[in-house]
Chains A and B, each alone.
Chain A
Amino acid sequence: MLKMSESDANFGSSGAEMESDDSMVSQGTDARLVEQARRGDTDAFGQLAQRYERRVIKVIRRFMPDQDLALDLAQESFLKAFDRLDQFDPSRRFGPWLFRIAVNTTYDYLRKIKRKGRWALFSEAGEDRVPDPAAADPRGDLDLSQEVHIVLADIPEAYRTVLVLRDLEGFSTSEVAAVTERSEATIRWRLAEARRMFKDAWERRDRSIEEESLG
């Protein structure tokens, strides 16, 4: 169903994207560029950033749909990667390491937002809990993508990451294992659980919509 490229530069990408990135692949391998970047060559790091930026932004947007925020988080992820190049193990692939930084940066941001909301002096939560009966159901305005995002947000991070990377971004289970630094067996288990959680949550959502339309 999902055939992934083994190329680092096309980590988790679809075939169409692979073709468009072919010219970039010829500019040098990731390993060579990483080595140059570690010696302070920002142009080499620039080539790596340009090679991966679209994929990184796409992955971040699965967790954070806002395009501007996703761009900021992608930039922050690349900066972190540049700062930590000396911690990168050159015997491993650069792609999973970079995506791990991007996913962790995104989760850090989401946790920060959650904490801010919890400790805010004035909360608007009370207003949210009392919907205006005259107002139309806001869910009608949501598209499928937004609804799926809302359902995914309720799935625990460890499972959500696997589901997003495997089913929405098309990474192979071995690639997801490399990004999350877990064994493939663990990823298979989490993937099964994540799909079950998504199915249950989606069916609950369907049932509540049906009940509301009947009642």
Chain B
Amino acid sequence: MQKQSLNCADARHLVHLAVGDDTLPEEELRLTDHLHVCSDCRAYHAGMVDAMHVIERVRDNDCDEIPMGSVWPALADKLKARQSRVYVPQGRRFNGAVAALCACSLLLAFVTAVQNLPSNYPDAISGFSPVSAVNVKLQNNGGSAQNHQRQLVQMAGPNGTILWVDPLTGQAYVPNIMQALDDGKSNLNF
């Protein structure tokens, strides 16, 4: 029977096994034949044998005596201690970590929502309290009305002072005259 020749890659794979006697007899023969004709693989085999000698030395030297009974006495105590404990069904145990995670998530959502609320009343008018909201058309003292309408909040101060505050911008207005319009809205002069 014609023997199939080995290439170097296959031969080196067998070299890795042969150094630990892990080749089959037929593989051993094919490898031996290849090593006879391939000097590179012979050198590789020698290097592999050296590496295995290192492992064998460690295997043979690491013979620290591990005394009998190193584990069992302590292990027996643990098993006895566990057996004397009250049985708690594993499937129904409360998981505090999940509850804590849920609580943190809710708190974070709440804080985020509160931070995103518009600031209705600026610090400058602290002491004033809101009375009512009204839609107004702003007009300066020259009489020219601005084109846009605003919703302002009427704020009453402690001494009866009245301010009109734009909750979007936080700007406070002191009106001179308020004029009622036909459509139920007010016109303010400043």
Task: Report which A residues bind B (CB closer than 8 A).
Answer: 1-2, 42, 45-46, 49-50, 53-54, 56-58, 61, 67, 71, 74-75, 78-79, 82, 144-145, 148, 163, 166-170, 173, 188, 191-193, 195-196, 198-199, 202-203
B3 CB to nearest chain A CB (Å) = 21
* Of the residues B13, B47, B66, contact of A203 by C-beta under 8 Å: B47
Instruction: Return chain B residues, CB-CB under 8 Å to A144.
Output: 54, 57-58, 61
Q: Which residue of B lies closest to A200 (CB)?
A: B51
B78 CB to nearest chain A CB (Å) = 7
Q: Which 7 A-B pairs have the closest CB atoms?
A: A192-B16, A199-B51, A1-B21, A53-B71, A195-B16, A49-B72, A148-B58
Complex Cα distance A2/B22, Å?
10
State whether the Cβ of B112 lies closer than 8 Å to any Cβ in chain A: no
Instruction: Return chain A residues, CB-CB under 8 Å to B56.
Output: 167
B20 CB to nearest chain A CB (Å) = 6
State whether the Cβ of B62 lies closer than 8 Å to any Cβ in chain A: yes
Contact B68 A54 (CB under 8 A): yes
Contact A191 B22 (CB under 8 A): yes
* Of the residues A67, A78, A170, contact of B71 by C-beta under 8 Å: A78
* Of the residues A75, A166, A203, contact of B51 by C-beta under 8 Å: A203
Contact B70 A57 (CB under 8 A): yes
Q: Which residue of B lies closest to A58 (CB)?
A: B66
Q: Which residue of B lies closest to A163 (CB)?
A: B55
Q: Which residue of A lies closest to B71 (CB)?
A: A53
Extra A-B contacts (15), CB below 8 Å, given A167-B52, A188-B17: A1-B20, A42-B80, A42-B83, A49-B71, A50-B69, A53-B66, A57-B66, A71-B71, A75-B74, A79-B79, A145-B62, A167-B20, A191-B22, A203-B47, A203-B51
Instruction: Return chain A residues, CB-CB under 8 Å to B13.
Output: 192
State whether the Cβ of B59 lies closer than 8 Å to any Cβ in chain A: yes
B85 CB to nearest chain A CB (Å) = 14
B18 CB to nearest chain A CB (Å) = 10
Contact A145 B58 (CB under 8 A): yes
